Amino acid sequence: MNDQSRSDAEGRRESIVFALPKPIATLDLEMDDGARIRVVRHGNPSGPRVVLSHGNGFASDSYFPFWRLMLERFDLALFDIRNCGRNPFHAAEPHGYPRFARDNAAVHAAIAKEWGGKTTIGVFHSMSAIAALLAVADGDWHWDALVLFDPPVVPPEGNPQRGPLMTAGGLLRDAARNRQNRFRTPEELAEVFRYMPRFRRLRKGVAELNARSVLRFDPGSGDWLLRCPGPVEAGLYVEVAELPIWRKPAPPARPLLIVGADPEAEDATKSGPCCKLFCETFGIDYAVVPDTSHLLQLEEPERCFALFGSFLADNGMGA
């Protein structure tokens, strides 16, 4: 290894440890098919409510560099998609977007019942953002406003941007099918994340944070296992292309902002240009965070939060 390579490797290993706050409340829910979803509450109970969830292969705790910026002003409710994060594994089927959309509605209703009704903003990334858009496409609005980060909206047949996004999704599907499921320590998985090219922009400490958030300890073997095995998440990367999101929807019934990855970056992820096109096509408020990839909330959390705050202020929802 030459001096430059050694310096780069040491720089990627140098990190920080994020200490997650203790929730002020928890809410354990059972979906109509028996799947369990836990909601945790953080932040300021007097503020507007934010309900936040995550993308495929992650958990809501993975986004702490972003949501910690909300703790002072917002009543924050985090939940993980079924089979992910702090939820127990239920079943490989159904593990798809229509089921996630129904779960989201149930989570929204349960939060309002348990902690009181108030202005509620949904903040979702990628997989959870697609679930939210699927509900919107059906005219079903649970939230007073939505802020969606880089949903991989696949254009219809005949659009030149469809092929590249589908190809990228196919590569992610194949990688997930073959993903290692068992690790000696969370650090072993963090090391994998640190050397994956698509994770190269992550803030220091996020690789370790995500590893801790997506693994569970198995006392029988002494190993750490993925909470959501790769083959279970694999189909989601291509299933999105078959969803009826890119039909002409009615104008947004409530405030909706899509924040996309940089579509002009030299190594732009394929979702960024598709988000831009989707918003231009349907007249949806759109913002972009320069020099970011699909994981923009974990790369530039302060800029993502600033766009979120400005959108709320423009719509009279700021704390």
CATH code (residue 281):
3.40.50.1820
| Inside any domain, residue 247 | yes
- By C-alpha distance, which of 28, 76, 30, 70 is closest to 50? 76
| Inside any domain, residue 285 | yes
Lowest-pLDDT range of 65-79, 107-121, 185-199, 236-250: 236-250
| Inside any domain, residue 32 | yes
Burial of residue 271 (CB within 10 Å: 0-12, 13-18, 19+) is buried
| Inside any domain, residue 319 | no
pLDDT given at position 230: 94
Average model confidence (pLDDT) for the chain? 91
- CA distance linking residue 278 with residue 245, whole number of Å: 10
Does residue 78 surpass a pLDDT of 50? Answer: yes
| Span 19-55, pLDDT tens digits | 899 999 999 999 999 999 999 999 999 999 999 999 9
pLDDT given at position 119: 94
| Inside any domain, residue 271 | yes
Average pLDDT in the 142-168 region?
A: 94
- CA distance linking residue 278 with residue 59, whole number of Å: 26
Burial of residue 294 (CB within 10 Å: 0-12, 13-18, 19+) is buried
Domain count across the chain: 1
DSSP 229: -
CB 194 within 8 A of CB 154: no
- CA distance linking residue 143 with residue 119, whole number of Å: 8
- Long-range contacts of residues 315-319, Cβ cutoff 8 Å, at least 24 apart: 315/145, 315/255, 317/48, 317/119, 317/121, 317/144, 317/145, 317/255, 318/48, 319/44, 319/47, 319/48, 319/73, 319/74
| Inside any domain, residue 84 | yes
- By C-alpha distance, which of 169, 180, 236 is closest to 211? 180
| Inside any domain, residue 266 | yes
Average pLDDT in the 59-74 region?
A: 97
| Inside any domain, residue 191 | yes
**Residue percentage of the chain with pLDDT more than 70:** 93
**Structural domain span for residue 234:** 3-314
